[in-house]
Chain A
Amino acid sequence: MNASELQPVVQFLKGLVPFDTLPDEVILRCAKAVIIGYYSKASAYVSFDANAPKLYIVRSGAFEVRDPEGVLVDRVGEGEFFGFSTLLSGEKVVNKVAILEDGLVYHLPQHLFDQLRSESRNFDKFFTRAFAKRLRHEARFKAKDLTTTSRISTLMSPDPIAIDAHASVTQAALLMRNARVSSLLVTDNHKLVGILTDKDLRNRVLAAGLDGRLAVHQAMTVSPISISSNALIFEAMLLMSEHNIHHLPIIDEGKAIGMVTSTDILRGQGSQPLLLIGEIERQQDLASLISVSKQIPLLLQNLISADARAEEIGRVLTSVTDALTRRLIVLNQQLLGDPPMAFCWLAFGSQGRQDQAACSDQDNGLLVAEEMDDYAKGYFDALTHAVCAGLDQCGYVFCPGNIMAQNPQWRMSLKQWQHVFEKWVITPEPKALMHASIFFDMRSVYGPQTLFDALQDKVLAQTRDNDIFLAGMTGNSLIESPPLGFFRTFVLERDGSEVKGIDLKHKGNALINDIARVYALSAGIKEVNTAKRIRALMDANILNRKDALNLADAHEFIAHMRLANQGYQYTQGQKVSNYLLPGHLSSLVRHQLRDAFKVVHDAQSGMKMKFMRSF
């Protein structure tokens, strides 16, 4: 028999993920092994043969899978599967499958299913991943690396050149000459203690009239500013321009593993976000800042169409907002004169988390070092109004909830902020909890880090292991739950209702943000970016590795879908929103989104178990 003869079955399997990647002869082998059954509503449930587990492939009709407690697990239609969890686990069938609409189902025997899994990695991954709720992305979803978003590690030389702190500067100069480098890492007992550059040799040795026997540690730059190996190139460049330096040691797990110079970075230049940030930093007045900020939506579209990772897009866009904020602060200080005291500009919410996307509004506040007198009050009132109004004109509209530094309520001294946070933590009322999701994701965009740390450390000390507060936060975040999946062109909610579309922000990423926040606050973790929080929770063994990676992947995948959807809306000339209509999703994407939702739901259950047990 040749392939054309069982054409209806062969054609169907060929178009079906994950069979679509199998070679023709394997598809024909599958088609020949298929047993076709017809299921009628009249018999209510699919009856399973415990001795012969099979993969059930729905050819027509509709089915509903429920667990032994009657909780809806899935609703499946044409081209979807059931029965595979039994095949994978080898356990008895426990789920019940109700027949919603009459239809044909292809049965694939266990031995062939196992054979396909061992022959095709792709086939295996499709089912085992669904089963284990793993979400490691397909190559097609792996975002491309752009110059603008690629990692700093791609630029550095693999074996860094280092010298001992007690060596002489002559030895150092020889090493630099032979290796043709302009700088060295200086180590003491394998620990990074400084860097030595051409400039140091000129300024601190020759110009000072010292000779070549001087020890390296006497000429080096002590405790240099460094950057993590997984930082983005543009972040390194920002750091360099902020501190006016040209060399950055790269640190991985506390060890110096390389060095990157401004020349290295210039070689990979031409990146749009960097140019934009550079342009922002050059502008001398509000009018020109407004005109520069008009490029931001285009930047977002370019990043989306370049298929950058969602997390990186968030970081890039937030860096632009940060730069704009800082520039507005600096320009207005030039008009108003020096501030009467140290202050930090606080970013909350999505800017705090570094996951800004399209149409972000402002969430900010001002932290000042001491109690303000009338002059200080007047000064900061003028400064914050000018900055907030500037941001508004640059496209970051005023916060509808009035959480802005220009609102005197959110312009406070360190003591007052500490007091406000304390009140929220001690009496977690609904309004306090609503605020918490915004305010607890805070980051300083401008001002001395020590001032900000004084606030954050105090807050974290209060939230850490605070059962009542954490239970309140958990309860608040469980109000929303992710959908179950998709059924035909609808989104399937957990209660079985079918709705037209899904808000990927509020029923997806926001839920993961909530989970990461509660755990981070419970453990006193300083990170506010969700991916970084999850990473820190994993490193601290608060989340197990598998759950943490699943959650991080789900976060990235949903955010990626959200951005891709916005890119699609933008190109279609539609209003850009977080609302996804499942109609045009491929079956693979539906499958993966479903897995991502499952991860979120499981993480919600885990959080509930951990923090709400006693309530």
Chain B
Amino acid sequence: MSILLVKARLNWRALRCQHQLFKDYYQSLVPLLAMPVSEAPLVAMDLEMTGLDPLQDQILSIGLVPIEHGVIPLEGAQQKLVQIRGSVGQSATIHGILDNHLVQAVTIEEAMAWFIAKTRGRVLVAHHSPLDCRFLQQDILAIYHQAVFLPSIDTLMLEKHRLLRGHHAIKEGSLRLGACRERYGLPIYSAHSALTDALACAELLLAQVAAMGGARQLKVAELMQQSS
């Protein structure tokens, strides 16, 4: 998506949106687009879901890891487990989340209110962000009756563009989070949770930004542009 278009959509939404919460949300993002990555507040996120279909599947947990001034302050790293309708079912084996873990879990309404508050004024970063965004949009629509626009930086697409620029053949699986991290010599994390994957994504972004010329040179808008 062209950056002018992103900016125009954000401004337009900010102007037209009837819901103050989202009006603020859009307005908080506009000034970030022109900022260098070294200045702009970002937030890496990861979602664990019961499946891949936003219409049928549910969010199990959300991990958020802030990126500020080009570094990752872990103090702000947070994770929320989300209550779901019915059993965790099949995906429990994948995510290691068991029904009784969900005792600490919050409702999806609480989770979305928390998510909007935490990510306000921060550009979202995720590995394969469209999927996560579709789940968030679906839940926000159901709760707030708002079809929200969630601009984001996608570390998977950044990597795809980089590989294509270098005329690399993209093999199956080579764009997975772990495979991308390996190319930058980042440590291998065996444990998976929304929070550790969000952290893994945040670190990957820092490495990608360094490889692309550094956080001072790159603007948020350029990263967004290369995320589509």
Does any Cβ of A come within 8 Å of B177's Cβ? no
Q: How far is the CA of A102 from the CA of B209 in the complex (A)?
A: 12
Q: Cβ of A104 and Cβ of B79 under 8 Å apart?
A: no
Instruction: Indicate the member of B71, B209, B213 with the most A CB atoms within 10 Å.
Output: B71
One digit per residue, 1 when the CB lies within 8 angstroms of any chain A CB and 0 when it does not, for chain B 28-69 equals 000000000000000000000000000000000001000000
Q: Cβ of A104 and Cβ of B214 under 8 Å apart?
A: no
Distance between A15 CB and nearest chain B CB, rounded to angstroms: 12
Q: Cβ of B196 and Cβ of A7 under 8 Å apart?
A: yes
Distance between B153 CB and nearest chain A CB, rounded to angstroms: 15
Does any Cβ of A come within 8 Å of B184's Cβ? yes
Closest to B192 in A: A7
Q: Cβ of A60 and Cβ of B72 under 8 Å apart?
A: no
Q: How far is the CA of A7 from the CA of B200 in the complex (A)?
A: 11
Closest to A12 in B: B187
27 contacts between A and B (CB under 8 A): A1-B77, A1-B78, A1-B79, A1-B195, A5-B77, A5-B193, A5-B196, A6-B77, A6-B195, A6-B196, A7-B191, A7-B196, A12-B187, A35-B72, A35-B75, A36-B203, A37-B72, A38-B206, A40-B207, A40-B210, A42-B214, A59-B187, A60-B185, A61-B185, A102-B184, A102-B207, A104-B203
Cβ contacts under 8 Å, A12 to chain B: 187
Q: Cβ of B186 and Cβ of A37 under 8 Å apart?
A: no
Distance between B174 CB and nearest chain A CB, rounded to angstroms: 20
A4, A36, A60, A104: the one contacting B74 at CB < 8 Å is A36
Q: Which 3 A-B pairs have the closest CB atoms?
A: A40-B210, A38-B206, A36-B72
One digit per residue, 1 when the CB lies within 8 angstroms of any chain A CB and 0 when it does not, for chain B 184-228 equals 111101010101100110110011011101100000000000000
Distance between B207 CB and nearest chain A CB, rounded to angstroms: 6
Q: How far is the CA of A5 from the CA of B207 in the complex (A)?
A: 22
One digit per residue, 1 when the CB lies within 8 angstroms of any chain A CB and 0 when it does not, for chain B 69-94 equals 01111110111000000000000000
Does any Cβ of B come within 8 Å of A103's Cβ? yes
Closest to A30 in B: B74
Cβ contacts under 8 Å, A31 to chain B: 74
Q: Cβ of A38 and Cβ of B199 under 8 Å apart?
A: no
Cβ contacts under 8 Å, B184 to chain A: 102
Cβ contacts under 8 Å, B79 to chain A: 1, 5
Q: Cβ of B74 and Cβ of A32 under 8 Å apart?
A: yes
Cβ contacts under 8 Å, B211 to chain A: 40
Q: How far is the CA of A34 from the CA of B73 in the complex (A)?
A: 6
Q: How far is the CA of A12 from the CA of B184 in the complex (A)?
A: 19
Cβ contacts under 8 Å, A39 to chain B: 210
Q: Cβ of B199 and Cβ of A6 under 8 Å apart?
A: yes
Given contacts A6-B195, A42-B214, contact A103 B185 (CB under 8 A): yes
One digit per residue, 1 when the CB lies within 8 angstroms of any chain B CB and 0 when it does not, for chain A 247-259 equals 0000000000000
Closest to B61 in A: A5
Distance between A595 CB and nearest chain B CB, rounded to angstroms: 27
Does any Cβ of B come within 8 Å of A101's Cβ? yes
Closest to B96 in A: A4
Q: How far is the CA of A102 from the CA of B207 in the complex (A)?
A: 8
Number of interface residues of A (CB under 8 A): 29
Distance between B195 CB and nearest chain A CB, rounded to angstroms: 5
Q: Cβ of B187 and Cβ of A60 under 8 Å apart?
A: yes
Interface of A is mostly: mixed
Distance between A302 CB and nearest chain B CB, rounded to angstroms: 43
Distance between B2 CB and nearest chain A CB, rounded to angstroms: 28
A12-35 with Cβ < 8 A to chain B: 12, 31-35
Q: Cβ of A8 and Cβ of B199 under 8 Å apart?
A: yes
Q: Cβ of B74 and Cβ of A40 under 8 Å apart?
A: no
Cβ contacts under 8 Å, B209 to chain A: 38
Given contacts A35-B72, A36-B71, A37-B71, contact A101 B185 (CB under 8 A): yes
Instruction: Indicate the member of A4, A34, A40, A103 with the most B CB atoms within 10 Å.
Output: A40
Q: How far is the CA of A61 from the CA of B206 in the complex (A)?
A: 14
- Given known contacts A36-B202, A38-B71, A38-B207, what 6 new A-B pairs fall within 8 Å (CB)? A32-B75, A32-B77, A35-B73, A38-B203, A38-B210, A104-B187
Q: How far is the CA of A39 from the CA of B184 in the complex (A)?
A: 12
Q: Cβ of B193 and Cβ of A4 under 8 Å apart?
A: yes
Cβ contacts under 8 Å, A60 to chain B: 185-187
Does any Cβ of B come within 8 Å of A9's Cβ? yes
Does any Cβ of B come within 8 Å of A43's Cβ? yes
Cβ contacts under 8 Å, B74 to chain A: 6, 9, 31-36
Cβ contacts under 8 Å, A4 to chain B: 191, 193
Closest to B205 in A: A38
Closest to B63 in A: A5
Closest to A37 in B: B71
Cβ contacts under 8 Å, B187 to chain A: 8, 12, 59-60, 104
Distance between A523 CB and nearest chain B CB, rounded to angstroms: 54
Does any Cβ of B come within 8 Å of A107's Cβ? yes
Cβ contacts under 8 Å, A36 to chain B: 71-72, 74, 202-203, 206
Q: How far is the CA of A39 from the CA of B203 in the complex (A)?
A: 11
Cβ contacts under 8 Å, B185 to chain A: 60-61, 101-103
Q: Cβ of B193 and Cβ of A43 under 8 Å apart?
A: no
Cβ contacts under 8 Å, B196 to chain A: 5-8
Q: How far is the CA of A42 from the CA of B186 in the complex (A)?
A: 17
Cβ contacts under 8 Å, B203 to chain A: 36, 38, 104
Distance between A102 CB and nearest chain B CB, rounded to angstroms: 6
Q: How far is the CA of A107 from the CA of B202 in the complex (A)?
A: 16
Q: Cβ of A33 and Cβ of B75 under 8 Å apart?
A: yes
Distance between B114 CB and nearest chain A CB, rounded to angstroms: 14
Closest to A41 in B: B210
